[in-house]
Structure 1
Amino acid sequence: METINIIAHTKDASQIEAIKAFMKALKIKFEVSKEKGLYGKVTAKPNKETLKAITNIEAGKGLTRTKSHADLMEKLNS
């Protein structure tokens, strides 16, 4: 069995319930996280650059002052 992470940007509780029903119908084991967006990945004291990058990503503006997605993810997870 392979574990993957999927992030769904739902608009309301009915969409969450529909996803749960779909997964159950396919007999796929799953769990629902309570984390909200990228902020759930940020450490207790993120730096200004990381916060600005996250804000821009959520606003659809893309990365700022980071070299790549991998660079941002490294900052978020360190």
Structure 2
Amino acid sequence: MTTITIKINERTKAGKALKNLIEFFSREHKGIEIVSDTKSEYNPEFVEKIKEAENDIKNGKTTRLDSENIWENIL
């Protein structure tokens, strides 16, 4: 099995046509599967950092900042 990541601009005729074709084949044929249909405009590295921070919070790894000196604590 091969996984291919494609970035499609849905505002263009070619982009719309390609997306419709992929969706058609994924519905009609069992050999094609859409793994992710994301429309995220965010940088993947940024998204990964946010997910890591969420995991840290879930695991109790948090840091408290003094509100009086918040900018000194951040920098």
User: TM-score per shorter chain, which class?
Assistant: 0.3 to 0.5
From the CA coordinates, give the structure whose radius of gyration is larger: 2
Identify which of structures 1 and 2 has the higher relative contact order when contacts are C-alpha pairs closer than 8 Å and 6+ apart. Answer: 1
